[in-house]
Amino acid sequence: MPELPAVADAGTEVDVALTVNGQPRRVRVEPRKTLADSLREDLRLTGTHVGCEHGVCGACTVLMDGEAVRSCLLFAVQVRGADITTVEGLAPDGAALSPVQRAFREHHGLQCGFCTPGFVISATAFLAAHPQPTDTEIREGLSGNLCRCTGYQGIVRAVRAAAAELAATEDASGRKGPA
Amino acid sequence: MKPAPFAYHAPRTVAEAVSVLADHGDEAKVLAGGQSLVPMLALRLARPAHLVDINGVAELAGGRLANGHLVVGATTRHAALERDAEIGTAVPLLRLAAPQIGHFQIRNRGTLGGSLAHADAAAELPAVTRALDAEISVRGPSGERTIQAAEFFKMVFTTALEPDELLTAVRFPVWGAGCGFAVEEIARRHGDFALAGAVCGVQVAAGRIERVALSMFGMGSVPERLDALEKSLTGAPVDGLDLADIGAQGVAALDPPADVHASSRYRKQVGAALIGRALSAAIESAAAEEASRA
Amino acid sequence: MTSDSILTPPSQLRGGVGAGRWIGQRLPRREDPRLITGRGRYIDDHQEAGTLHAAFVRSSVARGRIAALDTSAALAALGVVAVLTAADVNSPSHQFWHTVMGPGERTPGRVLADGDVRYVGEPVAVVVAESRYLAEDAAELVELEIDPLPPVVDVRAALRTEERVHPELDSNVAEALPEMEIPGFAERFAGAAHVISETFHQHRYVCVPMETRGIIATWDPWTQQLDIVLAAQGVHEPRLFYARMLGIPEDSIRVRQGDVGGSFGQKMFPMREEHAIVIAARVIGERPVKWIEDRIENLISGGHAREESLKIEVAVNNEGVLLAARAHHLENVGAYPTPGNGANGPTAAGMFPGPYRWGGPGSVAYTSQAIYTNTCGHCAYRGPWMMETVGREQMMDVVARKLGMDPLEIRRRNVISRDELPFTTPTTMVYETVSPAETLEQAAELIGYEQFRRDQEKARAEGRLLGIGLSLYVEPQFGFGSLGTEAATIRVEVTGKVTVYMSTGGHGQSIETTMAQIVADEMGVAISDIRIIQGDTQITPYGAGTAGSRTGAIAGGAAHAAAHAMREKVAAVAGRLLEVSPGDIEMASSVAMVKGDPDGPKVTLAEIAAAAYLNTDALGPDLEPGLEVSKRYKAPQFMFSNACHAVTVEVDRVTGQVRILRYVISEDCGNMINPMIVEGQIAGGIAQAIGGVFYEHMIYDSDGNPLTTTFMDYLLPTAAEIPDFEYGHVVTPSNTPGGYKGLGEGGAIASPPALLNAVSDALAPLGVTLTEQALSPDKILTLIDTAG
């Protein structure tokens, strides 16, 4: 893992090497630049959205080493060597959608779409940890992401459906989804 | 909402971290999970000139059992408290409190040490340490010291930590057989900070409360230990407890804060009910534990 | 084009009655593929090289005189290009008016605060720098000293005090709907068996779209062109606004919007920050100047709503028949409402009778006052006039309880049914295609009203607090003046693809899907061949903005009209190619064939287009070449949809928390282009109502300081707080093309009183009278404790 200098002075930029959506990337950032801003500006991955900048709305959720985290509460300098997945990386071959993404479309889980990347990432992580969730578990699992358009109806339906599809996939192949 | 500029330090050892803190004193802030600190930086409510990221200090991670105690490293994530089988068996209150902290995304980053050092009076983990008389290990330039939970929390957001000290681990006693535990809280929404909450550990033997620990969060400027109530409950039969009365006793001397979410009176009212809920849930869990071993 | 040809009755639409191959289907959205893969293009995703970033310096005092304002340190800061204040930005030549309100607005307009401040958050200076980080650093260096003055925060105080929110004005009244002389009105009360009076209060809560406001403005000094990218609800009105404000020709301004992350009214009219950015761009020149509102700004200064009260007096007979009502509506519109004076009273006045008969003409009197205070100004918020329903529907339950009648029964005795149409309300609204009685019965049946009353009795015996609440309402769609039309230009491309340029400015309404459904059916075109384009003043036809629940009926009407006309053009060319009369041509999935001869000769739309554009010599002299059509549809001034909401709750008497057990909506929005989208719109509105009633409260202290300024304190409901909703549909087609009616705002209008009535019903045995929101658990416990 490439070493940062022990100290990165305020206002000076440092190189940070990390993996994003399976690709090795490098950004040059001052310490206070958030991961959310760096992904969006330095790597042009604008699918991750900024909705509150204080860690409540979840629009900025990404996967870091497989775990869902709020990228507005991380500094880019902190994630050297980490493996970040953004919404753009959920369907790596670009053509097919992941099961969660497909379910969001089929069940009208979005309207304006601004909260959607955060939800899709969170739901992906949630289902990986809770493959057979109850309705209550789904709603509680989604409570870290805010939506203002849908009233959560389609989102909850989408997660139920994705859970069912992923369970069926696992039964069929003996191997666990999601992508 | 962008933070003010800061110099970023990424020490690899506790000694390095303490050395940075010693150099910069109250110009430095420790960054652990960041779930409470980074919003304050974004709002520019906190503007440390130096941020000391301890996530890379391997010594601070992990937990181990030793001499009837569980020692948990400061950077242990809430998610680990929720999932780690050894931690959950040794100190069930950690396993019960953790899932109630925020949302899973927050728990993936938030840490035990961070929660205690931040000392939000509405947080679960400080109240758990108070209930269990946990010991907080701290390292400073002059060496290590241990602070009792009872002495650690001074005021809301204020602890006994000096600016040049780093919280390194928390030592929890492991209660034995025949014990039950509960954490009950009321929040406006799922995952919010509690308006009021109660932590209970109880040891039952021959139908009586042999030992009980009760603490509350959200009910004062620090977590509150209900010593007087514990005394009056010790030895009491578990059948026929007047939970409403017990709850009223428990909150009688408390003066909970008021804010936009709830008044002091409301907190006191539901706090009383939560004591009853936590006590009865802990007793039930003690019975279940007993039954499972029978 | 005559009006007859526009009014295609649903049965004559392609594909049969009401529904076509695409119309009426729950078609998954065409917007989704880019949005669920993170390839949407929202305002902050526009990242042109050389863009400058802005941050505002704002007042931290609700009212005061600016004693000092020194920008020199900020100007010298790293990366700063400009620091502008009122001296640089404000001009007496600026006009601040929106088409829909007209000129001559009472509220004094200014871009930046000048000499004094009038609400916490008022922008005083704008810093433009190389990054938002640097702009915020520099903003902290601006020295701003304010000598506080006593702020006017409460509307009643504002009416009594000599202190003026706007010293230029003679009072703190922004707008008033005065009492009107109605002959015989007093007698309706004097002669009534019962006169019941109550005042209902609603607290301040706000739009909170997940995407905050934003603008990018670029001034090209060479071409003298202003280019604006805006998070908006439509591009044409902002263009007109800035042409007026700056006194420059409309066609020197281009406004575009990309994907917009919700709005609910807040982005309908640009506000002072956007004005400052536009002027900053002109001052700086060449480089784009970008401002993305942060969440704190959005909560404090993005536009507020809903803080109002409605005093209602009702005359009713012994059978519970409503005879007359008088209502007074008092609104707190803050310091700088948008648009106009921010008053919703006049609109509410027209809608107040709702779905009930009342006592005929002259039986309802409605007055209102909109009051300035030193707080953030009003903006539109989903159904801005909704207090008329919030008050009226709660009053129905109050009257019912006073008369010892069930709230369902009293509604049954007063509600208008389809048999009575057309119905003229006491406020001269004419209902032609509404079905309030039918939705009431459907909702009552779906929720199992009678069974619930039995369950409730059992639960009460056990000490549990269960309640049921109803709300009936009529929702207007506005089609007057600038809101009266929408337009669609259809261009069949040379290769046979169909491009539809809409006048709309969608921000979550699924316009790319619904309009494509209409065009596909009306033209007989493969839906995958259709592209809907919105939001560019250089390309799309004028539209007043996507708002006011107008899209389904009015934009739908435009799509129908344009597609119908295009079908005829296509048929004419196809007929020439297949050597039959155009009337014998049938189109399906972009292929033209001869009616009744499915295996006969065919020609594709691509071939037709090639003929129309490229092989024009073969068309003949009487056939117009090309395939381009523009139609502007004029809607009736008012149209109405309606619904009934029914909800059951349980109140926890230990914690005061409310659990929603079931939530049922019976909705009539006429024919539904896409039922999935209809239900989604209803659901979003109801979630905002649940938020408003139980969780959201924009609180000011007595010094005019907002206290709920982050998402830690301003609480939006999450998936854990919102239950599943259940829908029933009644279909009463409108008299407009397709038979659609708008519905976007209804959920937010009708839901609060249903929820409040349910809680009232739950607490009724305890003697609680519920006339206030927000219903925090603390508030509910207090109500229970003080009533007992």
Contacts of C262 in chain A (CB under 8 A): 111-112, 114, 148-149
Does residue C313 sit within a domain? yes
Does residue C195 sit within a domain? no
- Could you give the residue range(s) of every CATH 1.10.150.120 domain in chain A? 99-172
The verdict on a CB contact (< 8 Å) between B262 and C778 is yes
Picking from C655, C708, C781, the nearest residue to B260 by CB comes out as C708
- Cα gap A172→B233, rounded to integer Å: 56
Q: Full-prediction pTM beyond 0.90?
A: yes
pLDDT score of B40: 98
- Cα gap B255→B264, rounded to integer Å: 7
Hey, of C133, C140, C296, C654, which one would you mutate to test binding to chain B, going by the most B CBs within 10 A of its CB?
A: C654
Q: What percent of chain B has pLDDT over 70?
A: 100
Select the CATH number that applies to the domain covering A99-172 from these four: 1.10.150.120, 3.30.1280.10, 3.40.50.360, 1.10.3660.10: 1.10.150.120
The token pair at C147 is 């000598």
Is residue A94 very low, low, confident or very high in pLDDT (cuts 50, 70, 90)?
low
Does residue C781 sit within a domain? yes
Q: How far is A49 from chain C (nearest CA, A)?
A: 8
Taking the Cβ of residue A31 and every Cβ of chain B, the question of whether any pair is shorter than 8 Å is answered with yes
Picking from B9, B79, B106, the nearest residue to A6 by CB comes out as B9
Taking the Cβ of residue B35 and every Cβ of chain A, the question of whether any pair is shorter than 8 Å is answered with yes
- Could you give the residue range(s) of every CATH 3.10.20.30 domain in chain A? 6-89
pLDDT score of A179: 43
Chains touching chain B through at least 3 C-beta pairs below 8 angstroms are A, C
Tokens 């539901």: give the residue: B270
Whether the ω angle into residue A178 lies within 30 degrees of 0, i.e. cis, is yes
Give the pLDDT mean for B18-40. 97
- Cα gap A93→C586, rounded to integer Å: 40
**Of C91, C177, C79, C92, residue with least CA distance to C135:** C79
**Of C559, C550, C572, residue with least CA distance to C530:** C559
Does residue C466 sit within a domain? yes
**Residue-wise pLDDT tens digits, B140-157:** 999 999 999 999 999 999
Domain boundary among the residues C611, C634, C657 is at: C634
**Residue-wise pLDDT tens digits, B176-234:** 889 999 999 999 999 999 999 999 999 999 999 999 999 999 999 999 999 999 999 99
Same structural domain for residues C596 and C517?
yes
Same structural domain for residues C531 and C462?
no
Tell me, letter by letter, the H, E, C secondary structure of C485-529: EEEEEEEECCCCCEEEEECCCCCCCCHHHHHHHHHHHHHCCCHHH
Same structural domain for residues C473 and C558?
no
Contacts of C777 in chain B (CB under 8 A): 186, 188, 195, 262, 266, 270
pLDDT score of C769: 85
Q: How far is A86 from chain B (nearest CA, A)?
A: 14
The verdict on a CB contact (< 8 Å) between C508 and A111 is yes
- Residue C461: φ, ψ to 5°: -65, -30
The verdict on a CB contact (< 8 Å) between C210 and A51 is yes
Taking the Cβ of residue B278 and every Cβ of chain C, the question of whether any pair is shorter than 8 Å is answered with no
The verdict on a CB contact (< 8 Å) between C656 and B1 is no
The residue ranking higher by pLDDT, A43 or C638, is A43
pLDDT score of C11: 37
pLDDT score of A4: 56
Chains touching chain C through at least 3 C-beta pairs below 8 angstroms are A, B
- Helices (H), strands (E): how many in chain C? 21, 28
**Top-level CATH class of A6-89?**
alpha beta
Whether the ω angle into residue C178 lies within 30 degrees of 0, i.e. cis, is no
Q: Which residue of C has its CA nearest to A58?
A: C210
**Residue-wise pLDDT tens digits, C607-662:** 999 999 999 988 888 899 999 999 999 999 989 999 999 999 999 999 999 999 99
What burial class does residue C144 get, using C-beta atoms within 10 Å of its C-beta: 0-12 exposed, 13-18 middle, 19+ buried? buried
Same structural domain for residues C653 and C615?
no
pLDDT score of C509: 95
Whether the ω angle into residue C339 lies within 30 degrees of 0, i.e. cis, is yes
Same structural domain for residues C497 and C514?
yes
The verdict on a CB contact (< 8 Å) between C294 and A156 is no
The verdict on a CB contact (< 8 Å) between C722 and A49 is no
CB A105 within 8 A of CB C29: yes
Same structural domain for residues C372 and C507?
no
Picking from A11, A55, A64, the nearest residue to B5 by CB comes out as A11
Does residue C529 sit within a domain? yes
Same structural domain for residues C348 and C397?
yes
pLDDT score of B62: 86
Hey, of B185, B261, B274, B275, which one would you mutate to test binding to chain C, going by the most C CBs within 10 A of its CB?
A: B261
Number of domains chain C is built from: 3
Does residue C135 sit within a domain? yes
pLDDT score of A54: 98
| pLDDT < 50 stretches in chain C | 1-19
Same structural domain for residues C597 and C716?
no
In chain B, the domains with their CATH numbers are: 7-53 (3.30.43.10), 60-173 (3.30.465.10), 179-293 (3.30.390.50)
Does residue C72 sit within a domain? yes
Three-class secondary structure of residue C2 per DSSP: coil
- Report the CATH number at residue C668: 3.30.365.10
The verdict on a CB contact (< 8 Å) between A143 and C31 is no
- Cα gap C588→C571, rounded to integer Å: 12
Buried b / exposed e across B118-153, counting CB within 10 Å, b at 16+? bbbbbbbbbbbbbbbebbbbbbbeeeeeebebeebb
Does residue C156 sit within a domain? no
- Strand residue runs (E) in C49-108: 52-58, 64-70, 80-84
Q: How far is A49 from chain B (nearest CA, A)?
A: 14
The verdict on a CB contact (< 8 Å) between B261 and C717 is no
The verdict on a CB contact (< 8 Å) between B2 and C132 is yes
Residue numbers of the domain that contains C599: 3-40+481-634
Domain boundary among the residues C634, C658, C685 is at: C634
pLDDT score of A35: 98
Is residue A95 very low, low, confident or very high in pLDDT (cuts 50, 70, 90)?
low
Strands C485-492 and C628-634: antiparallel
Helices A153-173 and C675-690 cross at an angle (nearest 10°) of 120
The verdict on a CB contact (< 8 Å) between A77 and B191 is no
Task: Spell out which chain C residues touch chain B, with contact meaning CB-CB distance below 8 angstroms.
Answer: 132-133, 136-137, 140, 294-296, 654-657, 695, 697, 699, 707-708, 710, 712-713, 715, 717-718, 720-721, 776-778, 781-782
Same structural domain for residues C237 and C92?
yes
**Residue-wise pLDDT tens digits, A98-127:** 999 999 999 999 999 999 999 999 999 999
Q: Which residue of C has its CA nearest to B192?
A: C712
pLDDT score of C8: 32
pLDDT score of B289: 87
- Cα gap A144→A164, rounded to integer Å: 22
Interface contacts A/B by beta carbons within 8 Å = 95
Hey, of B47, B100, B189, B263, which one would you mutate to test binding to chain C, going by the most C CBs within 10 A of its CB?
A: B189
pLDDT score of B21: 97
CA C645 from centre of chain = 19
Picking from C36, C260, C718, the nearest residue to A104 by CB comes out as C36
Look at residue A138 and tell me whether its pLDDT is greater than 60: yes
Same structural domain for residues C550 and C487?
yes
User: Please, which residues bridge with residue B69 across strands?
Assistant: B66, B173
As for the ipTM of the complex, it is 0.97
- Report the CATH number at residue C246: 3.90.1170.50
The verdict on a CB contact (< 8 Å) between A116 and C35 is yes
**Of C257, C784, C189, residue with least CA distance to C538:** C257
Order of all β-strands in the sheet with A14-20: A23-29, A14-20, A83-85, A61-64, A67-70
pLDDT score of A2: 42
Q: What is the DSSP string of A73-113?
A: GSBGGGGTT-EEE-GGGSSTTSSSPPHHHHHHHHTT--SS-
Taking the Cβ of residue A40 and every Cβ of chain B, the question of whether any pair is shorter than 8 Å is answered with no
Look at residue B32 and tell me whether its pLDDT is greater than 60: yes
